[in-house]
Amino acid sequence: MEKAIISVLGTDRPGIMAAISRTLSDNGCNIEDVSQTILQTEFAGVVIVSLPEAAALDGIEAALDRALRPMGLSTFARPLDKSVPPAPPAASQPFIVTTMGADRIGLIAGISEVMAAFGANIVNLKAIFRGGEDPRRNTMIYEVDVPVYTDPAAFRKALHARAEELGLALSLQHRNIFDALHRI
């Protein structure tokens, strides 16, 4: 079965996911994965679907465009590349890295470079910069898979050193600890 990846962007409003999912359903597409978020006033969604037999992706993209363009949304669809096999999951540990500090250019680049140097994979990132110089209103939360072969002390030391260079307060916690501390 063929699969496709569809992205939808535009000004947020109620009913976007209803319109996307209804259009896909009406065209015989099965939604396999969805990720969506709101960035300030903008909706960003990515959907992976399995296509019905003999479906034309162009036709499905056109149907989405007819349904979503009146809502001020744009869509893009392409076949999911089957020539690239999914990477086998590496043995890793989930961590949460949180930073706070005054907004400035290069914060995400600075922290993500350290993670990449240790082979850590960012699986989710939420960054909100609303406070300019107010550090409490500028937060980045990284969910990171850290390979088990990584020296945790060296990883922690490198992250804290880079955070200090960037003027950030940084917290690194195993996901289990983070979840336990933030459970309501």
**Tokens in use for 169?**
């307060």
Q: Return all residues near 148 (Cβ < 8 A) that are at least 6 apart.
A: 91, 92, 93
Q: Are 130 and 137 in contact (CB under 8 A)?
A: yes
Q: Are 70 and 10 in contact (CB under 8 A)?
A: no
pLDDT at 67: 96
Quickly count: other Cβ atoms within 10 Å of residue 3's Cβ.
Answer: 16
Give me the average pLDDT of each 10-residue run along the chain (184 residues): 93 95 94 92 95 87 96 95 73 95 92 95 90 85 94 96 96 88 76
pLDDT at 182: 78
Quote the radius of gyration of the chain (alpha carbons, Å): 20
pLDDT at 184: 66
Sort strands 138-147 and 92-101 into parallel, antiparallel or unpaired.
Answer: antiparallel
Q: Are 115 and 144 in contact (CB under 8 A)?
A: yes
Q: Are 105 and 184 in contact (CB under 8 A)?
A: no
Instruction: Quickly tell me which residue has 């949304």 as its tokens.
Output: 73
pLDDT at 130: 85
State how far the Cα of 104 lies from the Cα of 33, in Å rounded to an integer: 34
